[in-house]
Structure 1
Amino acid sequence: MSALRRTFGLLAIPALALATALPAATAAHAAPAAATSSPTVRPDAAAAGWLARQLVDGDHFESVFNGTAYPDQGLTIDAVLAFAASHSSDQAAAKATAWLAKPEIISGYLGDGTTEAYAGATAKLLLAAEVRGVNPTAFGGIDLPARLRSLQSPEGRFSDRSQWGDYSNAFGQSLALIALHRTPGGAPATAVDFLANSQCADGGYPVSFGQAACTSDPDATALAAQALAATGRTAKANAGLGWLAAHQNADGGFVAAGATASNANTTGLATQALLSGGRFGAGVKGWSRLVKFQQGCTTDPAVRGAIAYDASGFNAGNGSRATAQAVLGLGGTPLATLSAAGARPDAPTLACPAPASH
């Protein structure tokens, strides 16, 4: 069961001051799916509001496997980050954070800390605690920074300690650097070096470490670029951003490894990295693509504001995860500075005109 719980939502593999960067993209929001939305509800806030209303019991997400629902801590954390990125839905975020801190929930996600301890999950939860402004050294009774540091190998890699094997990768390494950068001790230089040295010859970053052929991945590159920018490796980060910009689709979206069409998850992470890294031309194109995935006033009221995974239309099976990661791109704030401070408490609803009376 531990391996199964680890799989769900760790990283299905995320506000910038966009006033000067997004006027043209805002005009693009007048696409058919969003033509009648109110300008007083930003696309990121409308998406996050929809996401908040999908929480099970108002405080968490679940994933279904073979007909059985399991708590999905990873997706719940994605939602917490999305709420902060949109500066909205703070009440939902607070409830989700409290759920994540429950002993049975946190142990099922992080492991028991001795025989089972998962690096990527620990890094992601640490980041969520920091974003929420709660004490990460006593979250659910666990010192998250200390737990994460204990999982660093001598060469700098953050690795799992588990009977199920080591599934740590560039996603977790990047999140660990970002999260530890936000702690008083900062990110260990050896860990920063390890990620920087994993860079492929073309400037991108792979998901898995140590493979014979280094293959750049857009999701991994987006997170690595943010992590390296936060920890002072500007040249390495810029190379990653350059790789992303060079691999952007003509429609502004980004294609996941092995896929043929752009999707909201990959586009959300890449757009966040580009906007937070100052690549506004490519970033605005990605932002515009995400807005076109958003469900507007002509759609079923139950899905208005949500972000579809791809151009095939909204799918309830992947809509929550697509929306959560798309909001990171729509908000544009880097993970290294993301904060829930000042977020509006309510979950905004896409404003649509009342039906015409006859």
Structure 2
Amino acid sequence: MVVRLSRYRLLALLCGVLAALTLTTPALATPSALGTVRSDAAAGWLARQLVDGERFESIFDGVAYPDQGLTLDAVFAFASAGVADTFGAQAMAWVSRPDIRDGYIGDGTTEAYAGATAKLALAVTVRGGDPTDVGGVDLVARLRSLQTPAGRFSDRSAWGDYSNAFSQSFAILALSRTAQGVPSAAGQWLAGTRCPDGGYPLLPAQPTCVSDVDATAMTVQALRVAGRSVDAAAGLRWLVSVQRADGSFVNGGGTPNANSTGLAAQALRDGGRPLAWLRARVFLAGLQVGCAAAAANRGAVRLDGGAFDPATAPRATAQAVLGLTGTGYAQLSAASAAPGDPVLRCR
């Protein structure tokens, strides 16, 4: 008797095989002796790297500077993994301080940065807060004031306009979770930046449109919530077309890495591409530091296949967590997150 499997049954079987592969990567690469992928342990490791349990810092020429952007990436990772809620609350309290907040988004008068304002507004919403009152600042109103007639969200600063695909995408994602929703012109402008191959560039209006993995991963998530599913689908097809055989992604001709793969994986699952997501997840699982490593490093995600680097691991881990869980920015919520910072339990 010939048994004919429906394409849905075949899809389920393939998903099962890929999921099994995720659980059987080599012992040195997997996060525990049992071989299981632990996004919660990755987020737990990330939480323990926060300075004073509240922030990340960047060191330049021996001086420590606040890194609000990476701190917010950690907040998203905690929500995605459903852990480290205490750390997420402390991080948001720190980044909402007037001096720290304004050093990131600008004072609203002489400087106002669209991407930073949008990213902070989204993080506040993910944490269950009110983005219209962050230390007395209405982030939503400020963000809307930065939208140009063409629909682009641009910086207002004497230093120049640094807005890009991330700025526009975070603005759309943040506004999608407000009562007024996304201005139609914002999605239309972003869709109009698409390259001929279907991907999206980091910077618009360049002499040659060059699709960027990270920018496309952000853009397709924003286009979906802006109601532009056809434009998002083009970006998703491009992402699938440039995925490497091992499931990874490379941005700008570099090395396959957790940052780009994490963002792409998040977009792929959010956009309904489960097989491509699972392949990316297998790659990310292979970068997670396991029980053969020093206890302090277990659970972290390495940037690439090289040695563990504590300088690059926090950002790599934050973005890898998003890819491992596959929860899109539009759905992130810390509402049910547990308070602690899980660790890998090794035999």
TM-score (norm 2): 0.93
| Residue 164 (1) aligns with residue 159 (2) | yes
Structure 1: which amino acid aligns with 2:212? Answer: D
The correspondence for 1:46, drawn from 14, 37, 41, is: 41
Contact 2:31 2:37 (C-alpha < 8 Å) held by counterparts:
no
- For residues 310 and 31 of structure 2, what CA distance do their matches in structure 1 show? 22
Structure 1: which amino acid aligns with 2:227? Answer: G
The correspondence for 1:282, drawn from 259, 267, 276, is: 276
Counterpart in 2 of 1:187? Answer: 182
Once the two structures are superposed, the pairs formed by residues 172-321 of structure 1 within 5 Å of their partners are 172-259=167-254, 261-321=255-315
| Residue 92 (1) aligns with residue 115 (2) | no
Indicate the percent of aligned positions where both proteins have the same amino acid.
Answer: 55
TM-score (norm 1): 0.90
| RMSD across aligned positions (CA) | 1.6
Counterpart in 2 of 1:343? Answer: 337
Contact 1:44 1:327 (C-alpha < 8 Å) held by counterparts:
yes
Q: CA deviation at 1:232?
A: 1.1
Go from structure 1 to structure 2 and tell me whether the alpha carbon gap of 1:167 and 1:128 turns closer, same or farther (over 3 Å shift).
same
Counterpart in 1 of 2:141? Answer: 146
Question: Over residues 164-184 of structure 1, what are the superposed CA-to-partner deviations in whole Å (9 max), with x where a residue is unaligned?
Answer: 100100111011111101110
Structure 2: which amino acid aligns with 1:263? Answer: N
Counterpart in 2 of 1:322? Answer: 316
Counterpart in 2 of 1:118? Answer: 113
In structure 1, list runs of 5 or more residues that go unmatched. 1-17, 354-358
Q: CA deviation at 1:26?
A: 4.6
Runs of 4+ in 1 over 4 A off after TM superposition: 20-23
Q: CA deviation at 1:344?
A: 1.1
Structure 2: which amino acid aligns with 1:241? Answer: L
| Residue 36 (1) aligns with residue 32 (2) | yes
Counterpart in 2 of 1:105? Answer: 100
- For residues 276 and 285 of structure 1, what CA distance do their matches in structure 2 show? 15
- 1:70 partner SS: strand
- For residues 124 and 16 of structure 2, what CA distance do their matches in structure 1 show? 30
Structure 2: which amino acid aligns with 1:196? Answer: A
- For residues 152 and 237 of structure 1, what CA distance do their matches in structure 2 show? 21
In structure 2, list runs of 5 or more residues that go unmatched. 1-11
- For residues 314 and 136 of structure 2, what CA distance do their matches in structure 1 show? 29
